[in-house]
Structures are given as structure tokens and as C-alpha cells.
Amino acid sequence: MSFDVRRFDIYRKVPKDLTQPTYTGAFISIICCVFILFLFLSELTGFIATEIVNELYVDDPDKDSGGKIDVSLNVSLPNLHCDLLGLDIQDEMGRHEVGHIDNSMKIPIDDNNGCRFEGVFTINKVPGNFHVSTHGATSQPPNPDMTHIIHKLAFGEKLTVQNVKGAFNALGGADRLSSNPLSSHDYILKIVPTVYEDLSGRQRFSYQYTVASKEYIAYSHTGRIIPAIWFRYDLSPITVKYTERRQPIYRFITTICAIVGGAFTVAGIIDSCIFTASEAWKKIQIGKMS
């Protein structure tokens, strides 16, 4: 007794002599194929592209930094001479540095009447402040003018990722040229650690921040007005993590199978209904259906 493996064929074939092509079926088939192609290309685009997933957790992500944060500052003071300008840094760990000069430049602007300060320095991961002022000058000017434009204030690594819209340079473009020249400016910053992980697993550590500001007239113990631009900061315990992901291949295949199978099934149902209705209408017309 021979064993015929064809018994297990669940996709039985119908002879062409027993099938009937119709114009309606052809039209539905074409529409179905176009629809399947459209959905396939949409899924393929989504599969090739990457998505950014974000999460929040409590931790210090960059433990290898030694408790330091890199700061990049670029600010212009068009009415203050470079010889008078300096950067001071202090924090709750006891750091108090007046006239910080490492990795910084003071560039004369406006015919040497103003100055642009560009600096890269580090701060400790504790509450503190850094400020641009004349505190480190050998002699204080009578009326220092602290009107300014902040071009850049950023912390950590630079992130240039298209799909990540964050406040990495929230003070960029801040214009205080119309302020009172003798006013001090306080910028209160809340720094939020941010991690970006790409498809290869490489992590980049940056920091976003929110800012609130105020202006006021500050007097020294001698009664003189000594304005400054203060950046007072504190760190948030919450870390924001952005992870770059791509849709797994098995999910893409599953979706494509669902699209093809579902579209053909629905098209078959529609064609069957139209064909049945058409046959019934023909029988009514020739009087064979009561």
C-alpha cells in the first residue's frame, strides 16, 4: 500500500475549468494589489527608520565623569571692556575660584569697547553658581554695564539628534541689551541629566536644563553697585534616557503577512458578495427567482 503525502495538502487546487473570471474580480484584485503595495511600502519605511524611546529613572548616569560636568559658555557684553571681565565659580563643596581663565577666551568686539567671553570649564555635581562679573579686575569701573547676549550655555556632550527635541541650550539667544546697565541678572537653572543611546549601544551624556530669571540692583558692603551675570544651578535626581531602536525583523514579517492575508481575505469577501448579488440579480431579471 503506497502512502501519498499529497493527502496533507491543505491548499487544494481548483481546476481552471471550474473557475470563472469576472471584470469585477479583476478590478477588485488590482485595487487589492495596489493597497497591499502601499501598506508594504509604509511598513518597510517604518522598519528601516529608527524610533526614539524615552524613559525616566533616578540615577547618576555618567559615573565615570568623576563628579564633574563640562560647561560651554558664550556670552557677549558690548559695553564692557575685556580687561574688566572675568568668570568666577563657586559651589557647596567649597570651591571658590575668581577670574577663571583656563580654556577661555575674551575677544574684543565693537571697536574694543565690548567683549565676547567664550569658555569651556567644569563644575561639580553639587549646587553652586558661576558668574560673569568684574569681581576679578584689579580696579573696579565706576559704572560697569552688564547688558549682554547669551549665544550659548550648554552642559555635557553636544547632542545633534534630529528626533530629540530638548532644552540643551535653553538660554541660547537670550537678549538683555535693553536692560538697565547697572542691573544684575540671575539665571536659576535646574539641570537634568540626559543619556542618548544609539543602535550600537554607545551612550552619550548631556544635560538639559530649565531656567528662570530675574533682574535687580545689587549693592556691595561699601554701597557701590557691582552688577554681575549669575548662573545659579542645581541638579535634578531624575535622568532622562533616549534609546534609539529599530523594529525587529520578526515583527516586520508578521505585519507583512497580516497585511497580505487580511487584504486578500477582505477582497475575496467583497468579490464573493458582489458576485453573489450579481448572480441573484440576473436570476430576477430572467424570472427564475420568486
Among 41-45, 114-118, 181-185, which is the least confidently predicted range?
41-45
Q: Which of 152-161, 189-198, 273-282 has the highest mean pLDDT?
A: 189-198
Stated length of the chain:
290
The H-or-E segment that residue 239 falls in is strand 238-245
**Per the structure block, which three cell numbers stand in for 290?**
420568486
Q: Could you tell me if 112 and 78 are in contact, meaning their C-beta atoms sit under 8 angstroms apart? A: no
> Is residue 13 predicted with pLDDT exceeding 80?
no
Determine the pLDDT at residue 8: 72
d(CA 30, CA 142): 84
Residue 249: the pLDDT is: 85
CA 182 vs CA 62, 85, 186, 206: distances in Å = 39, 15, 13, 34
Name the more confident of 93 and 248.
93
Measure CA 14 to chain center.
56
